[in-house]
Amino acid sequence: MTVLTALAIVVFVTAWIFSSRSRRRGLPSPPGPKGLPLIGNLLDFPATFQWLTFEKWHKQYGDIVYLNLAGQSLVILGSPEATSAFFEKKSGVYSDRPRFVMINELVGWEEFAIGSYRYGNAWRELRRVFHQQYHSGVIPPYHPVFRRHAHRLLHNLLTEPKELEQHLLHTASAVILDTMYGIDVVDRDDPYVTIAEKAMEVIVEAINPGAFLVDSFPALKYVPSWFPGAEFQRKALRWKAFMKDMLNKPFEAVKDDMQQGRAVSSIAATMLQEISQDDEEHSEYIIKAVGGASYAAGSDTTSATTQVFALAMAMHPQVQARAQAELDAVVGPDRLPDFDDRPNLPYVNAILKELTRWLPVVPLAVPHAALSDDEVRGYFIPKGTIVLGNSWSILRDPVRYPEPDQFKPERFLTKDESLATDVPDPSIAAFGYGRRICPGRHFSDSSIYLLVACMLATFNISPPIGEDGAPIKITAEMSAGAVLRPARVDYIVKPRSDAAIDLINKTVAFQ
């Protein structure tokens, strides 16, 4: 028996003893799969695609499912009613975050991660500042940045059509770097893009549920990095350097540009101009936190959503053709779609909603944690319980969304082809819940709208062709991880016409 195993057993026993307090109030725990002595449901917890297993449990046990992970209580919510009962009606109890040992304490993300910050005054300050920069009323000034990078994406697809996935990844990174720091990156191998994308890879891997034993047993954080089996410590040391680069290097570049009188408009530059000399150190920390949260919250989900769009169009050419007909009628052939067109594009808007619902790129919301003992629907919820919104199940509910496995944008339209108001908007689950709902959702929505509209207006996305000359049938196969992405497909990306080619070249030339 190794020292790590022995330590884990000690933690199991201690946690089990403390978990017995869930019976003190005489209330039952929510229903869920029966566990084993000491370890509870630890062996039941899936290593990958957790939301699919959770969906099966919801069908068996209901919309509130309880697990005991070696003494750590976990509650999984599978309906809007359940998430409302916890995150809205009792937001004062369920707005905390669990202790993320790997990403926060070992990798060093804790001081800057608004999304994983513990609930309290420090989080409120960061949230308030972030909201000031990203609420719906301040999005229009960012439109020129969105246009610039949407148009560059079209040019990149024109010159390198086989690199669709890489172009979408680069565009998402470039939009954040440009908006937040005024750093205009063009090349995919730009050092700022490399820094940011490496840090994003770290975040996605580090927060993957069940990826690191230390998140379940925090005492393991004290195991030295040289100890056999402590690869997680060695990873954390390497990853910490990536995170520091993402937080510091773009910020220092903006600060240096301002001192040299060559800074361009950006969120960071504006915030730096407003810094008080009496509170310079704290103000700079806030700016770095907003920058780090902007990238972590926006870049990966934006690129993943646009990849889902490419998959959906290749699988459903009739949807693509209908959207293109709408764009042709509203926008015409002589210009690219813009934000003023959006109210007149109900089918394009329906596609955006269905992208969010069909394959939600964040199928499990960032976990909440109970700040105190509580009772919900007659169930006892102990202090420290991790409460998880299963967005996948909510957005795949066959009652609210008939034929949930099918990509059907028309489900969000009325008979007269206007946007329906009686179909639940996917935002009820796609952007988190309660007080911890994603504050950058309006930024993300506007950016993705323009990317999708511009690609539809100018390109056809089709499946690859097999050796027999017929299109290869593709399916909605997704990668495992905290953020879902479609499996790699070598799409055929072709301009819709010579006029589309001329329009793209003309547009980029005038930028």
d(C-alpha 339, C-alpha 453), whole Å: 10
Dihedral, 103, 73, 32, 65 alpha carbons, nearest 10: -60
End-to-end alpha carbon distance in the chain:
65
d(C-alpha 296, C-alpha 74), whole Å: 25
Burial of 468 (0-12, 13-18, 19+ CB in 10 A): exposed
Q: Could you tell me whether strands 64-69 and 72-77 are parallel, antiparallel, or unpaired per DSSP bridges?
A: antiparallel
Residue 454 annotated in ligand binding:
no
Dihedral, 454, 458, 464, 470 alpha carbons, nearest 10: 140
Q: What are the b/e assignments for 90-104, b being 16+ CB within 10 Å? A: bbebbbbbbebbbbb
- Of 230, 237, 275, which is closest to residue 255 (Cα–Cα)? 275
d(C-alpha 215, C-alpha 77), whole Å: 21
3-class state of residue 43 by DSSP: coil
Which residue type occupies 247? L
Angle between helices 346-358 and 441-458 in degrees, nearest 10:
120
Are 492 and 465 within 8 A, CB to CB? yes
Are 269 and 182 within 8 A, CB to CB? yes
Are 75 and 388 within 8 A, CB to CB? yes
Q: What are the residues whose beta carbons fall under 8 Å from the beta carbon of 270, sequence distance 6 or more?
A: none
Q: What are the residues whose beta carbons fall under 8 Å from the beta carbon of 208, sequence distance 6 or more?
A: 481, 482
Q: What are the residues whose beta carbons fall under 8 Å from the beta carbon of 286, sequence distance 6 or more?
A: 125, 126, 129, 271
d(C-alpha 491, C-alpha 351), whole Å: 19
**Torsion angles phi and psi, residue 389, rounded to 5:** -85, 120
Are 483 and 304 within 8 A, CB to CB? yes
Helix (H) or strand (E) holding 389: strand 386-389
Are 64 and 378 within 8 A, CB to CB? no
Both structure tokens of 52? 């699919």
Indicate the annotated binding residues for heme.
438
Indicate the annotated binding residues.
438
